[in-house]
Structure 1
């Protein structure tokens, strides 16, 4: 995955994750960071579960799932 694609997927996934968990956005840089970390986490989770997603939309779905998991864990730790 190219750097520009990674950043765009991260931005979209971070923004979507913020909306899904009712946290709002985290700003452009925050959304990218959450989305990129979410892409790695989502990729790991999908592999463990034996799932596969391909294409740009698949990458966004995987990254969003990972970003939601990341936000959820961070909120648990914050309490």
Structure 2
């Protein structure tokens, strides 16, 4: 249940920070879930450790990944 909540929040935050608005509940969930995987990969690549029990740290990691995802999509969308 926390994964879904964190995914929705991360997608919503990324949508606000990048696009200026959210994508609706389902869109935010998808962006947040994919972003959490991407954020996990980014943090592992940079060797940044995130405590699995810390919901705030997981939200930050997921939001970073969701922002990266939205930036990548916007780069490919412009072409």
TM-score by length of 2: 0.92
Equivalents in 1 of 2:65, 2:13: separation in Å?
A: 11
Q: Could you say which residue in structure 2 is the equivalent of 1:71?
A: 70
Matched, 1:10 2:7: yes
1:21-60 equivalences under 5 Å are: 21-54=18-51, 55-60=54-59
Q: How many pairs align?
A: 76
For structure 2, list consecutive stretches of 5 or more residues without a partner in the other structure: none
Q: Residue 53 of structure 1: CA displacement?
A: 1.8
TM superposition outliers: structure 1 runs of 4+ over 3 Å: none
Equivalents in 2 of 1:17, 1:52: separation in Å?
A: 21
Q: Residue 63 of structure 1: CA displacement?
A: 0.2
Q: Residue 22 of structure 1: CA displacement?
A: 3.1
